Copies of this chain bind each other. A is one copy, B any other.
Amino acid sequence: MKERIKVILVDDHAVVRAGFRMLLSTEETIEVIAEAERGEAACQLYLDKQPDVMVLDLSMPGIGGLESIRRICNRDSKAKILVFSVHDEWVYVERAMNAGAKGYITKHAHPDILIAAIQKIAEGGDYIEPSLISDSPALSSAYRETGETDYKSIIESLSAREFDVFLLLAKGLTSHKIADELCLGYKTVANYGTQIRNKLKVSSTAELAHIAIGLGVMKN
């Protein structure tokens, strides 16, 4: 029999860690060798224990998941990290994969998926929960090639006028108000809106607001 897959588990919720162990307890090919409840500790543990797979939550206090992935992959680009997050929005998948993760599953996932994902990644593959891929913006394969989907850079790819409109939309103005403000036809504004949302791959102005705030381009 082969070596068991050594897993380190990183999640700030004790329940989730316990649940993970429990769900994996029936699977003899996998062994949880350590746990951490935050990113900083995870980075250290990774170096110390050299796990085959690190399963990691995105939202944690401190440096958080994304930054942890970045730091770990920086030292070891072959690091096998599986994100295990509550978020089922594609943006998160994208960000995580760009940061260097090899897989992404949500906490809604069925236990079998969890095991499958760990195994797939352990043997060097990628794994994204099937249900997530379906609602990816037609870029299910492109994420790997471009490797460049930071909002920062997309925002920079907006033209000057698009950016103007972006800001006002994020602020909460309607197309008509924006048209008045910028002295444009409301059709034009509406068209820019569509364009902007496509570029940022979102579907509501609320998301634009979050992005704007996240980028520090708007203070809330």
Contact = CB atoms under 8 A, between A and B. Distances in A.
Contacts of A204: 169, 172-174, 205-206
Interface in A134-178: 169-174
A95 interface: no
Nearest to A13: B107
A164 to B, nearest CB: 15
20 contacts: A13-B108, A14-B19, A15-B114, A16-B19, A17-B19, A18-B18, A18-B20, A18-B23, A19-B22, A86-B86, A169-B204, A172-B207, A174-B203, A204-B205, A204-B206, A205-B209, A206-B206, A213-B213, A214-B220, A220-B220
Interface centre among A12, A20, A111, A206 (most CB of B within 10 A): A206
A11 to B, nearest CB: 9
B206 A172 contact: yes
Name A's interface SS. helix
Q: How large is the interface on A (under 10, 10 to 19, 20 to 34, 35 or more residues)?
A: 35 or more
Interface of A: 12-23, 86, 107-111, 114, 169-174, 202-210, 213-214, 220
A42 to B, nearest CB: 17
A170 to B, nearest CB: 6
B19 A172 contact: no
Contacts of A214: 220
A203 B15 CA distance: 30
Nearest to A135: B177
Interface centre among A12, A23, A111, A202 (most CB of B within 10 A): A23
Nearest to A219: B59
Nearest to A111: B14
Contact of A172 (B12, B13, B174, B210): B210
Nearest to A110: B14
A111 B172 CA distance: 29
For the complex of A and B, list the 8 residue pairs with the smallest distance between their C-beta atoms, beginning with the closest. Answer: A19-B19, A172-B207, A18-B19, A15-B19, A205-B206, A209-B209, A172-B206, A18-B22
A108 B11 CA distance: 10
